Amino acid sequence: MKLREEEVRVGDIRTLVLRPVDDRKWPGLLLYTDIFQLTESTLRTARRLASAGFVVAVPEIYPHGPLAGVALEFDDAGKQRGLDGAAATTTASFDADRTAVLDYLHQRDDVSRLFVTGFCIGGHLAFRAAFDPRVAATVCFYPTGLHNGALGADADAGSIRRAAEIQGRLLIVFGSRDPHVPADARLFILNELYAAGLTDLEAHVYTGGEHAFMRDVGPRHDPALTDRALAEAVAFFHES
């Protein structure tokens, strides 16, 4: 499917919007990046999702400081700059930006309903976006910080304790070899979600998957697991 891409500003937030060229309405999908922001790697994933029938909005997660407009390199320096950007961003700031982008998608004439997804820190941000009652379904790919609450500048954002606020469907994808979300952390997350009363919940643990196995740059990338994860996410959204 051919796509149309544009850059928009949602307030101060630089956001790329990708959608099928067909002018009918499609579900809107807020896609949160990892700490490296709007890299070509993430945009390739966004294009794949848009071609499956979504209006995909990909905002910068650090739009208000020195990393605004910057796509970071996948090296030690880029990683450190991304971590520094996270450390300088409060949960309240992340939440305010989320509301702005969801409002933008909700108000578009070509959007029917709202979905959210995200990777790594973006998976945690996607989880928090699911608190918005307008969000019909959320897919979190290897979300970091859910088990211990760590998010940006806050040692404990309390995200998992708010799980009962989620009204839409939820799918969480983990890799079995992810040191940031090891087995005990995955078990804790699932116990908390079930204890919160979430019944429309799926959790997938991909054998052999490392952290960021869907990033198509570097030795951790697993193309087969990536294809499987994206196919299952698209099916999950289309069934929601």
Helix, strand, coil abundance in the chain, percent, nearest 5: 35, 25, 40
Instruction: Give the pLDDT band of residue 23 (cuts 50, 70, 90).
Output: confident
Q: Are 10 and 101 in contact (CB under 8 A)?
A: yes
Catalytic residue (choose from 124, 147, 204, 211): 211
Instruction: Give the pLDDT band of residue 8 (cuts 50, 70, 90).
Output: very high
Q: Are 123 and 129 in contact (CB under 8 A)?
A: no
User: Per-residue pLDDT averaged across 11-36, rounded?
Assistant: 96
Residue 1 has pLDDT above 90, yes or no: no
Instruction: Give the pLDDT band of residue 90 (cuts 50, 70, 90).
Output: very high
The whole model's pTM is what?
0.97
Per-residue model confidence (pLDDT) at position 71: 96
* DSSP 8-class letter at 74: S
Angle 85-90-94 (CA atoms, 0-180°, nearest 5)?
A: 85
Give which of 121, 127, 125, 8 is closest to 56, Cα–Cα: 8
Secondary structure of residue 133 in the 3-state scheme: coil
**Chain-wide mean pLDDT for the chain?**
97
Q: How many distinct helices (H) and strands (E) make up the chain?
A: 6, 8
Catalytic residue (choose from 34, 97, 178, 222): 178
Tell me how far CA of residue 146 lies from CA of 2, 140, 151, in angstroms: 36, 11, 8
Residues 110-139 pLDDT 10s = 999 999 999 999 999 999 999 999 999 999
Using CA atoms, how far apart are residues 60 and 185, in angstroms rounded to an integer?
Answer: 27
All domains in the chain, ordered by first residue: 3-238 (3.40.50.1820)
Residues 221-234 pLDDT 10s = 999 999 999 999 99
Per-residue model confidence (pLDDT) at position 81: 97
State percent of the chain over pLDDT 70.
100
Could you report how far apart the first and last alpha carbons of the chain are, in Å? 22
Catalytic residue (choose from 120, 124, 132, 222): 120
For this structure, is 140 an active site residue?
Answer: no
Residues 132-191 pLDDT 10s = 999 999 999 999 999 999 999 999 999 999 999 999 999 999 999 999 999 999 999 999
State percent of the chain over pLDDT 90.
98
- Per DSSP, what are the bridge partners of residue 206? 175
Return contacts of 8-14, CB within 8 angstroms, 24+ apart: 8/104, 10/59, 10/100, 10/101, 10/104, 11/100, 12/63, 12/64, 12/68, 13/59, 13/60, 13/63, 13/97, 13/100, 13/101, 14/38, 14/59, 14/60, 14/63, 14/68, 14/69
Per-residue model confidence (pLDDT) at position 14: 98
Cα dihedral 132, 11, 32, 156 in deg (nearest 10): -60
For this structure, is 109 an active site residue?
Answer: no
Per-residue model confidence (pLDDT) at position 229: 98
Using CA atoms, how far apart are residues 132 and 115, in angstroms rounded to an integer?
Answer: 10
Using CA atoms, how far apart are residues 194 and 166, in angstroms rounded to an integer?
Answer: 12
